[in-house]
Chain A
Amino acid sequence: MVLLEEPIKEPVMVKNYINGEFVESESEEQLDVINPATQKVIGKVPISLPDELNAAVDAALDAFEEWRKTPPLARARYMFRLKALLEEHFEESARIGVMEHGKTIDEFRGEVRRGIENVEVATGIPSLMMGYNLQDIAVGIDEMVVREPIGVFAIIAPFNFPYMIPFWFWPYAVATGNCVIIKPSSEVPLSQYKVAQLVDEVGFPPGVINFVNGDRRVVKAMLENPNISGYCFVGSTKVGKEVIYVGAAKQGKKAICQCSAKNYLVVMEDCDLERTTSSIMTSFFGNAGQRCLAGGNLAIVTKDDAFYRKVVNAVVEKAKRIVVGYGLDTEVTMGPVRSVDKKERIVGYIEKGIEEGAKLILDGRKPKIKGDYPETCFLGPTIFEDVTPDMVIAKEEIFGPVMPIIRFESLDEAIEAINTKTPYGNAATIYTSNGKYARQFVYEVKCGNIGINIGIVAPMAFFPFGGMRDSFFGDRHGQGRDAIEFFTERKVVISRWW
């Protein structure tokens, strides 16, 4: 067993980063940042005042005119410098992330890598931002489209991927010439605080990138500030739709809202069962189930009782082998959930499943924990069978290590359930070796991210992060070309020279 060294020795006092300087919030309200595995306080984060957010917006607005005139090639070079620093601090960032969030070191290294990949894509901004043109739309007249930055954007991050998710947006915003205000999750602000320190070291002009910590009151101030041009939000459908998307729309502002999910993983009889069950494990129990791309329902499509039982037994056996503990222990394969209230919510869903008549075949409520850690935030893998698509545990996002198993007799039935029994359309996966099934699945399922023999359908940085129905509000997604389009306005120029 190897327990990796903790990089945080003393509680970190998080400051805001406004106009190129780290400043203490004047707010008297602070929250403790608690390591969910050890329950130790590892930091304190301020709930910043609306005036502090407004000061950051003013700084960003001041910086915008100069920054937008900075040539894209020069802006790209800032990104190259940032990429080098992020690499240099890769391991430290990953371990800070494990301490603040709870996921395993492998998972957080993956998160850091995915964050950096967005910076890498943004270094290509001179090519990505190009417009297009056509000579002689009429004799002697040319037409072209140029992309221009817009202004100041607000980025509101969730707790489940504290390091990576802000990177889905801000490297593209900044590389295209905009300025940003990032509000890290108040539960897990420390890995973003590290990013803020590296941003400062890169030497971006003051005001281009600002970090303001806080809770929904900061978000409210963001929505009320007329100088913010758009919002990027990842979180629940309730907040994303009703607060951010509607709030932005009322003011004619742009918004990307990537929201809740309930992802089906569909197992066909012709799948490679060994690999499929391994993939299923990571999808349901990786990150302790706290991701919008996590498996939400396991759908086994078969009329054959023996096959059904074989799949169920295989997933239960593999789930039993999951090692629950502190994510800095390299033998651990599942960390705690982020907080006590999240654990209580998940336990509530387990109790609901029992009440609804689902059969609990693996109960994770009293997990065996590796090492001497308080069980406060720990849960083990939980598996239900005899679940029907109409049960609450099959329709709502549990956001924890819980696997409801639903049996279907045909792929058509499974697709019907995916498209009609849950309002969400974030992701869905089919495990099969049959191309016809795979094509039907891709064609008919109304979800933004489709996997074929992929448990976690996480788009790479150079592709947009999809999402449909109640999983997404907006018209452009985070990452890749979508992000470039979101953060720029297209201007059409028609010219004739006499």
Chain B
Amino acid sequence: MLNTASGLIEYYTKYEDRIKSFYETLAEDERCAANRELFKSMAEGNEKHKKEVLRAYYEVITDAIEACYIRPLDETKYEVDTEITPDMTYEDLIKKAVEVEEKSRDFCAEAYRCTSGLLADVSVAFRRVSKSKAKRVDELKEILSKVGK
């Protein structure tokens, strides 16, 4: 359970890095050759998301904004499975990407709720990232709908 802003930031940093690494691997994977550029840009997007949240935290955190306590966030609900195995098909990989994006979108939405009211800038940053991830879900679902057609 995450109960402090620092705990949340620490966890989120590693979380976003893991997803970034997942997309970097997909971009190099021959099974996803058709979407190489997309996955590269998604990995870059993860880096941007992380920087946006970290900037909001480190650049506005002050002792005046009740930074320490957040509403508890159960991070175990949002764990992402980023393992890629040789037996997975292109469709499996896109499905996995959709799952990863949905979980991380929901994680960021929950982080927004848990920090709202106390950590305004961090909260707003999480909301923006969550919206960005929602668009990525749509984009991946669009790709998935075309698989095999």
Q: How many A-B residue pairs have CB under 8 A?
A: 80
What are the residues of chain B within 8 A of A251 when measuring CB–CB? none
Report if A333-B69 is in contact (Cβ < 8 Å); known contacts: A104-B4, A106-B5, A278-B117.
Answer: yes
Interface 9-mer from A69-77, A408-416, A452-460: A452-460
Among B5, B65, B66, the one with the most A-chain Cβ atoms within 10 Å of its Cβ is B66
A158 interfacial contact with B, CB 8 Å:
no
Interface 9-mer from A223-231, A281-289, A306-314: A281-289
Report if A282-B68 is in contact (Cβ < 8 Å); known contacts: A332-B4, A333-B3.
Answer: yes
Interface residues on A, range: 20 to 34
Q: Are B118 and A106 in contact (CB under 8 A)?
A: no
A331 interfacial contact with B, CB 8 Å:
yes
Partner among B3, B6, B59, B63 whose Cβ is within 8 Å of the Cβ of A286: B63
In A96-152, the 8 Å CB interface with B consists of: 104-107, 109-111, 113-114, 117
Q: Are B6 and A323 in contact (CB under 8 A)?
A: no
How many of B's residues come within 8 Å of A, CB to CB? 21
What are the residues of chain B within 8 A of A282 when measuring CB–CB? 66, 68-69
Q: Are A458 and B3 in contact (CB under 8 A)?
A: no
What are the residues of chain A within 8 A of B10 when measuring CB–CB? 2, 4, 330
B62 interfacial contact with A, CB 8 Å:
yes
What are the residues of chain A within 8 A of B62 when measuring CB–CB? 110, 113-114, 117, 458, 460
What are the residues of chain A within 8 A of B4 when measuring CB–CB? 104, 106, 330-333
CB distance from A478 to the nearest CB of B (A): 15
Q: Are B64 and A291 in contact (CB under 8 A)?
A: no
Q: Are B63 and A287 in contact (CB under 8 A)?
A: yes
A275 interfacial contact with B, CB 8 Å:
yes
In B99-149, the 8 Å CB interface with A consists of: 117-118
Q: Are B58 and A90 in contact (CB under 8 A)?
A: yes
Q: Are B3 and A456 in contact (CB under 8 A)?
A: no
A419 interfacial contact with B, CB 8 Å:
no
A376 interfacial contact with B, CB 8 Å:
no
What are the residues of chain B within 8 A of A110 when measuring CB–CB? 61-65, 67
Q: Are A111 and B3 in contact (CB under 8 A)?
A: no
In A226-276, the 8 Å CB interface with B consists of: 275
Q: Are A458 and B64 in contact (CB under 8 A)?
A: yes
What are the residues of chain B within 8 A of A113 when measuring CB–CB? 58-62
The contact sample of 5 A-B pairs, CB cut-off 8 A, is: A2-B11, A106-B61, A113-B59, A279-B118, A330-B7
Q: Interface residues, chain A, CB within 8 Å of chain B?
A: 2, 4, 90, 104-107, 109-111, 113-114, 117, 275, 278-279, 281-282, 286-287, 291, 321, 323, 330-333, 454-458, 460
4 residue pairs, one from A and one from B, having the closest CB atoms:
A330-B7, A282-B66, A110-B63, A458-B64
